[in-house]
C-alpha cells in the first residue's frame, strides 16, 4: 500500500518506477525570443534534476531547408556532447508528419510513410527512444510504421490529446492494433490536458483582455463545466450578441481545445501507457495546477504501476505573451517539477 | 470563424526593417520583417497566405513575396515548395510591390498568416496590427 502525498517520507521513490522529465516545448517562447538557445533549453531542463528530455523537432531542431531536418554529422556530434555534458537522455521525439503538404491534393499513404520513416531515423540518430504520433495519422499508416520501429528499436506512442478521450475510439483502435499485431513497439501517450476540469484560467484572462463579455464567459464556463457542449453553441453565442473575442472562445470550447473526463479512465488503459505528457497551463503560487487535478491523477498512475516518464509540458505561455504575469516559463516548470516531486514522494 | 490557437501573433511583425524598396533607382514598394506566428516551423507549401494591409489598402496577393536567406518566393510559388522550411528562429523579409512606395512617417500595418497545419481541422489564421514608422 502506498501512502500518497506525504512530503519527506523516505524511500517513497522505490515504491514506483515513475520518472520526472521535461519537454523543451515548455521553454518555447524563450527559444523563440532568442533568450534560450537549444543548448540552454537542455541545460535549463537538466538544472531541475531530471534525466530525460523531450522535444519537438519542428520547433527546435535546426535543419533548414530539409523537411527531414537534414541533420549534419556535426550537429549529431554536438547533440551527443550536450547529452553527456548535461547528463540527460533524449526520451521522446514529438514528430507530426505533414499530411497536408499540398493544398490541392492529399498525400498518398506511401508519401506519408516515407516522411515518418525519415523522421524516425532522425529521432534514432539523436538517441531518442520514443516517437510521438498524433491523431491526424490513419490507423493504417500507424500499423505500417510498426515494423520500422521494431527494426530501429524505437517505441511508437500515439498521443491522446484533447479533444480525444482515453476511453474514446482513437485510443481503443490503437489498442486493437497492439493486441492484433502483438507488437511491443506501439503504446499510448496520454496528454493530461484531457483532464482540464475547467476552461484554463489563462484562457479566460486572455479572452477578457481581448474584450470578451462577462455574461458570455459565464455562460461558456457553465457549458464547459456541464461537460455537454450544445452543437449549436456558435448560434447561441451569436444570439447573445457575442463579439469576436466571445466567438473565438466559444469556437475553442466547441472544437475541444481543452476537455475533461474522469482521470479514472487512465486505469482502463494503464498496461498500454508508455509515456505521459504532463500538460499544464498555470501553476499557482501555492504550487498546484489550477486547471488539472494532478493530486488525483498521479496517485492513479502510481497505484496501477505506471512505469515511464511524466514530462512537464507547459503551454500557458501562448496565452500570456507580452504580459508581465509575475512568472516565466522557467518558474512555471520549477513549480510543476516541485509538485511532481511531492506527489511522487521524492524529497523536496 | 478563424483564429490562432498557437499565440505568437504579437511577434509577427518587427518594429525594425520597415522601409521602401528601391530597384534601379526607382521605388517599387516597401518591405517589412516578419516572423512565423507559431510555436513551430512550417514547410513553405503550408503557408497558404500572407495578407498585408497598409493604411487601409490591401496589397494584392501577387504583389507579395517572401525572402528567407538568399531565396525569394511569391506566395503562389511557395505553394509548391516542399523542401524548404520557415523556422521559428528565422526572420523573413516580406516585400510588397506598390508604385512609389510609402511616405516617411507612421503607417498602420495589418498582417495575417494562414497556415495549413496537418493535425488540426481548420486553417490557423494569425493576425496583428501595428503602427510602424518608415524612415526616409
Q: Is A348 a domain residue?
A: no
| Average pLDDT over chain A, rounded to an integer | 93
Last residue of a domain, one of A253, A271, A291: A253
- Residue B55 touches chain A, beta carbons under 8 Å: no
Domain that holds residue A107: 12-198+260-343
Q: Is B2 a domain residue?
A: no
pLDDT at A5 over 50: no
Query: Can you give the pLDDT at residue A269?
Result: 97
Sequence-distant (≥ 6) Cβ neighbours of residue A153 within 8 angstroms: A124
For the stretch A254-269, pLDDT in tens is 999 999 999 999 999 9
Are A191 and A206 in a shared domain? no
Tell me the CATH number at A117.
Answer: 3.20.20.150
Are A236 and A336 in a shared domain? no
User: In the sheet where B57-58 sits, what is the strand order?
Assistant: B57-58, B47-54, B105-115, B124-134
Query: Can you give the pLDDT at residue B2?
Result: 52
Q: Is A92 a domain residue?
A: yes
Rounded Cα distance between A318 and B5, Å, is 8
- Count of residues making up chain A: 348
Are A115 and A26 in a shared domain? yes
Look at strands B124-134 and A130-133 and give their pairing: unpaired
DSSP structure string for A226-247: HT---TTHHHHHHHTT--HHHH
Query: Can you give the pLDDT at residue A72?
Result: 87
3-state secondary structure of A22: strand
Query: Can you give the pLDDT at residue A8?
Result: 39
Query: Can you give the pLDDT at residue A64?
Result: 63
Rounded Cα distance between A99 and A234, Å, is 29
- State phi, psi for B116 to the nearest 5 degrees: -95, 85
pLDDT at B29 over 50: yes
Chosen from A62, A103, A164 to mutate, greatest number of chain B CBs within 10 A: A103
Specify the range with the lowest mean pLDDT, choosing from A6-15, A83-92, A268-277, B115-124.
A6-15
pLDDT at B6 over 90: no
Contact A67 B43 (CB under 8 A): yes
For the stretch A198-208, pLDDT in tens is 999 999 999 99
Query: Can you give the pLDDT at residue A249?
Result: 96
- Residue B60 touches chain A, beta carbons under 8 Å: no
Chosen from A56, A64, A253, A279 to mutate, greatest number of chain B CBs within 10 A: A64
Cβ neighbours, 10 Å, residue A81: 11
Q: Of all residues in chain A, what percent carry a pLDDT higher than 90?
A: 91
Size of interface A-B (CB pairs under 8 A): 88
- pTM for the model stands at 0.94
Whether residue B86 contacts residue B99, with contact meaning beta carbons closer than 8 Å, is answered with: no
Which grid coordinates belong to A280?
Answer: 499544464
In this prediction the ipTM stands at 0.96
If one counts the domains in chain B, the total is 1
Whether residue B131 contacts residue B54, with contact meaning beta carbons closer than 8 Å, is answered with: no
pLDDT at A40 over 80: yes
| Average pLDDT over chain B, rounded to an integer | 94
Distances (CA, A) of A143 to A150, A155, A176, A182: 11, 13, 11, 11
Cβ neighbours, 10 Å, residue A284: 13
Rounded Cα distance between B136 and B122, Å, is 41
**pLDDT band at B71; cut points 50, 70, 90:** very high
Cβ neighbours, 10 Å, residue A18: 20
Query: Can you give the pLDDT at residue A2?
Result: 42
Which grid coordinates belong to A233?
Answer: 453553441
Contact A32 B11 (CB under 8 A): yes
Query: Can you give the pLDDT at residue A67?
Result: 65
For the stretch A132-172, pLDDT in tens is 999 999 999 999 999 999 999 999 999 999 999 999 999 99
Are A79 and A211 in a shared domain? no
Q: Is A301 a domain residue?
A: yes
Are A98 and A22 in a shared domain? yes
Q: Is A113 a domain residue?
A: yes
Q: Is B58 a domain residue?
A: yes
Q: Is B129 a domain residue?
A: yes
Using an 8 Å CB-CB cutoff, list chain A residues near B46: 98, 100-101
Rounded Cα distance between A313 and A25, Å, is 6
**pLDDT band at A213; cut points 50, 70, 90:** very high
Q: Is B1 a domain residue?
A: no
Q: Is A281 a domain residue?
A: yes
Are A192 and A65 in a shared domain? yes
Whether residue A68 contacts residue A122, with contact meaning beta carbons closer than 8 Å, is answered with: yes
Distances (CA, A) of A295 to A275, A302, A338, A343: 18, 12, 13, 7
If one counts the domains in chain A, the total is 2
Domain that holds residue B108: 9-134
Rounded Cα distance between B46 and A101, Å, is 6
Taking residues B83-111, what's their average pLDDT?
96
Query: Can you give the pLDDT at residue A3?
Result: 42
Amino acid at each position: 500500500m502506498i501512502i500518497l502525498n506525504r512530503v519527506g517520507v523516505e524511500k517513497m521513490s522505490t515504491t514506483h518506477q515513475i520518472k520526472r522529465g521535461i519537454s523543451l516545448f515548455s521553454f518555447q517562447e524563450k527559444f523563440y525570443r532568442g533568450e534560450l538557445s537549444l543548448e540552454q533549453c537542455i541545460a535549463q531542463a537538466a538544472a531541475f534534476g531530471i534525466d530525460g528530455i523531450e522535444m519537438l523537432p519542428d520547433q527546435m531542431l535546426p535543419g533548414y531547408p530539409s523537411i527531414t531536418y537534414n541533420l549534419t554529422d556535426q550537429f549529431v556530434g554536438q547533440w551527443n556532447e550536450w547529452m553527456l555534458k548535461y547528463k540527460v537522455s533524449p526520451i521522446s521525439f514529438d514528430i507530426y508528419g505533414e499530411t497536408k503538404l499540398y493544398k490541392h491534393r492529399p498525400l498518398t499513404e506511401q508519401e506519408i510513410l516515407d516522411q515518418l520513416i525519415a523522421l524516425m531515423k532522425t529521432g534514432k540518430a539523436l538517441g531518442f527512444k520514443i516517437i510521438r504520433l498524433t491523431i491526424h495519422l490513419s490507423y493504417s499508416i500507424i500499423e505500417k510504421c510498426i515494423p520500422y520501429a521494431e527494426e530501429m528499436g524505437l517505441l511508437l506512442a500515439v498521443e491522446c490529446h484533447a479533444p480525444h478521450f482515453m476511453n474514446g475510439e482513437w485510443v481503443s483502435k490503437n489498442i486493437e492494433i497492439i493486441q492484433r499485431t502483438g507488437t511491443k513497439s506501439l503504446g499510448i501517450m496520454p496528454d493530461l490536458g484531457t483532464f482540464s476540469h475547467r476552461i484554463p484560467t489563462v484562457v479566460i484572462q486572455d479572452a477578457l483582455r481581448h474584450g470578451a463579455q462577462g455574461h458570455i464567459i459565464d455562460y461558456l464556463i457553465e457549458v464547459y463545466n456541464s461537460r455537454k457542449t450544445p452543437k449549436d453553441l456558435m448560434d447561441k453565442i451569436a444570439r447573445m450578441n457575442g463579439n469576436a473575442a466571445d466567438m473565438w472562445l466559444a469556437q475553442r470550447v466547441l472544437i475541444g481545445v481543452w476537455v475533461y473526463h474522469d482521470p479514472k479512465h487512465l486505469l482502463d488503459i494503464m498496461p498500454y501507457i508508455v509515456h505521459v505528457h504532463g500538460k499544464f497551463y498555470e501553476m499557482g503560487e501555492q504550487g498546484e495546477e489550477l486547471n488539472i487535478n494532478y493530486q488525483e491523477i498521479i496517485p492513479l498512475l502510481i497505484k496501477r504501476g505506471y512505469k515511464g516518464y511524466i514530462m512537464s509540458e507547459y503551454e500557458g505561455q501562448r496565452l500570456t505573451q507580452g504580459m508581465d504575469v509575475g512568472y516565466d516559463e522557467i518558474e512555471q516548470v520549477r513549480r510543476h517539477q516541485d509538485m511532481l516531486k511531492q506527489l511522487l514522494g521524492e524529497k523536496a | 470563424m478563424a483564429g490562432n490557437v498557437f499565440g505568437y501573433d504579437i511577434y509577427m511583425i518587427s518594429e525594425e526593417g520597415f522601409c521602401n524598396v528601391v530597384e534601379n533607382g526607382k521605388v517599387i514598394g516597401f518591405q517589412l520583417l516578419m516572423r512565423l506566428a507559431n510555436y513551430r516551423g512550417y514547410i513553405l507549401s503550408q503557408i497558404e497566405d500572407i495578407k498585408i494591409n497598409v493604411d487601409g489598402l490591401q496589397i494584392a496577393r501577387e504583389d507579395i513575396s517572401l525572402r528567407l536567406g538568399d531565396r525569394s518566393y511569391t506566395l503562389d510559388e511557395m505553394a509548391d515548395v516542399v523542401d524548404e522550411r520557415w523556422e521559428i528562429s528565422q526572420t523573413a523579409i516580406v516585400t510588397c510591390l506598390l508604385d512609389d512606395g510609402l511616405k516617411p512617417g507612421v503607417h498602420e500595418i495589418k498582417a495575417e498568416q494562414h497556415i495549413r497545419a496537418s493535425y488540426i481541422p481548420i486553417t490557423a489564421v494569425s493576425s496583428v496590427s501595428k503602427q510602424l514608422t518608415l524612415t526616409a
